[in-house]
Amino acid sequence: MSKKVCKLVKKELPKEDIESYIEYILPAKYLCKKCGRTACKEDYLCKPVKITSK
Ligand SMILES: [Zn+2]
Q: What is the pLDDT of residue 41?
A: 96
Q: CB of 30 within 8 A of CB of 50? A: yes
CA angle at 5 for the pair 16 and 10, rounded to the nearest 5°: 55
Helix (H) or strand (E) holding 9: helix 5-10
Q: What is the pLDDT of residue 45?
A: 97
Q: How far is the CA of 39 from the centre of ligand 1 (A)?
A: 10
Q: How far is the CA of 27 from the centre of ligand 1 (A)?
A: 17
Q: What is the pLDDT of residue 43?
A: 96
Is the pTM for the entire model greater than 0.85? Answer: no
Q: How far is the CA of 54 from the centre of ligand 1 (A)?
A: 24
Phi, psi of 10 (to 5 degrees): -65, -30
Q: How far is the CA of 22 from the centre of ligand 1 (A)?
A: 16
Let me know how long the chain is.
54
Dihedral angle sign, alpha carbons of residues 47, 21, 26, 23: negative
For residue 1, pLDDT over 90 is answered with no
Q: What is the pLDDT of residues 2-48, one digit of tens each?
A: 689 999 999 998 899 999 999 999 999 999 999 999 999 999 999 99
